[in-house]
């Protein structure tokens, strides 16, 4: 296997990495990617160690061919590529699961191309490209609407006023409000409304995920899990070893501009909704 790193001209991109192995005629993309998987995981772990959070996508380059009804040409060939959408990696412990999701996406895209391709047959795989992009540290700020498929399972406080970066604070207290939990005006004088008080010493706003451990240390009865979303699938970002007396599951939403915490109120229903919509089992450890 050859792993080659080269710089990119795209603004905001750290590097591109090309993985290649000798293609054996008749090999499938599944087999090819399985041979690269461990090296890909190790490279990603090294970048996360050096850079912190990163945003990545994969692309698979290939050549396909098909016979043509001509006497002067035996076969027509063309180059092709399938790629994933961007995936944000926060912690090296999630990398194997995220790599498997991205590989599954590539294989699904390739199969779709073959089905719609009118007789194209794989001739060669030229390599797997990893694009690594800069990503700001995990800080949540402006409001992000809940994806429609998750709306019934989370409380998303609408902190859409300029400069309001308190979504982590609101998500903790949302669990203890009975009504109007998504309306920001109900979070004034919140300790009196809920008869609950937490120690937020050392927490900044917007709140990096790295500071959640500080909040947990400040509040010994509390445990917190944080989950992200990629391609409409839920995956763990950080998961506690022990769920304590006051446990919170938070959903971390991102877009190209900002990021945002929500409170998950029905975790099992959230995961089951993926099982039913994707028609196959979703593995989400908790």
Lowest mean pLDDT among 127-136, 186-195, 242-251, 273-282: 273-282
| Contact between residue 20 and residue 5 where contact means Cβ atoms under 8 Å apart | no
Structure tokens belonging to residue 188: 């004034």
Tell me the C-alpha distance between 260 and 283, whole Å.
24
Lowest mean pLDDT among 136-150, 165-179, 223-237, 240-254: 136-150
Tell me the C-alpha distance between 202 and 52, whole Å.
21
Length of the chain: 286
Tell me the C-alpha distance between 103 and 33, whole Å.
7
- In the DSSP assignment, the letter for residue 21 is -
156: three-class secondary structure by DSSP: coil
Between these two residues, 178 and 92, which has the higher pLDDT value? 178
Tell me the C-alpha distance between 32 and 48, whole Å.
24
∠ Cα 89 281 44 (to 5°): 20
Structure tokens belonging to residue 85: 């959408």
Phi, psi of 205 (to 5 degrees): -135, 115
Q: Thinking of the domain 2-134, which architecture would CATH place it in?
A: 2-Layer Sandwich (3.30)
57: three-class secondary structure by DSSP: strand
Confidence of residue 87 (pLDDT cuts 50, 70, 90): confident
Q: Beta strands of 68-155 (E only): which ranges?
A: 75-83, 87-89, 121-134, 154-155
Lowest mean pLDDT among 105-109, 225-229, 281-285: 281-285
Beta pairing, strands 222-230 & 246-254 = parallel
222: three-class secondary structure by DSSP: strand
Where exactly does CATH 3.30.1490 map onto the chain?
2-134
Tell me the C-alpha distance between 26 and 43, whole Å.
28
pLDDT at 72: 64
Tell me the C-alpha distance between 156 and 24, whole Å.
50
Mean pLDDT of 31-51: 93
Model confidence at 70: pLDDT above 70: no
The pTM of this model reads: 0.56
Express each pLDDT in 115-132 by its tens digit: 777 788 899 999 999 999
């Amino acid at each position: 296997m050859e792993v080659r790193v080269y710089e990119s001209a795209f603004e905001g991109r750290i590097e591109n990495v090309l993985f290649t192995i000798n293609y054996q005629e008749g090999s499938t993309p599944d087999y090819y990617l399985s041979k690269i998987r461990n090296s890909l995981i190790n490279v990603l772990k090294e970048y996360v160690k050096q850079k912190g959070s990163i945003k990545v996508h994969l692309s698979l380059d290939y050549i396909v061919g098909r016979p043509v009804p001509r006497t002067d040409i035996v076969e027509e060939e063309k180059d092709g590529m399938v790629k994933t959408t961007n995936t944000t990696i926060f912690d090296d412990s999630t990398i194997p699961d995220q790599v498997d999701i991205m590989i599954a996406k590539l294989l699904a895209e390739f199969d779709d191309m073959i089905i719609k391709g009118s007789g194209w047959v794989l001739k060669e795989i030229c390599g797997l490209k990893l694009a690594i992009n800069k990503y700001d540290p995990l800080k949540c700020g402006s409001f992000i609407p809940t994806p429609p498929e998750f709306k019934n399972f989370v409380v998303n406080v609408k902190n859409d006023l300029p400069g309001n970066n308190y979504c982590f604070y609101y998500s903790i207290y949302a669990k203890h409000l009975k009504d109007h939990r998504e309306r920001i005006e109900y979070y004034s004088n919140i300790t009196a409304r809920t008869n609950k008080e937490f120690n937020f010493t050392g927490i900044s706003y917007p709140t990096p995920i790295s500071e959640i451990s500080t909040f947990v240390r400040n509040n010994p009865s509390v445990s917190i899990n944080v989950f992200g979303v990629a391609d409409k699938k839920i995956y763990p970002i950080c998961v506690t070893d022990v769920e304590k007396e006051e446990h919170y599951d938070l959903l971390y939403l991102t877009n190209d501009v900002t990021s945002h915490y929500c409170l998950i109120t029905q975790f099992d229903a959230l995961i089951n909704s993926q099982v039913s919509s994707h028609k196959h089992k979703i593995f989400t450890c908790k």
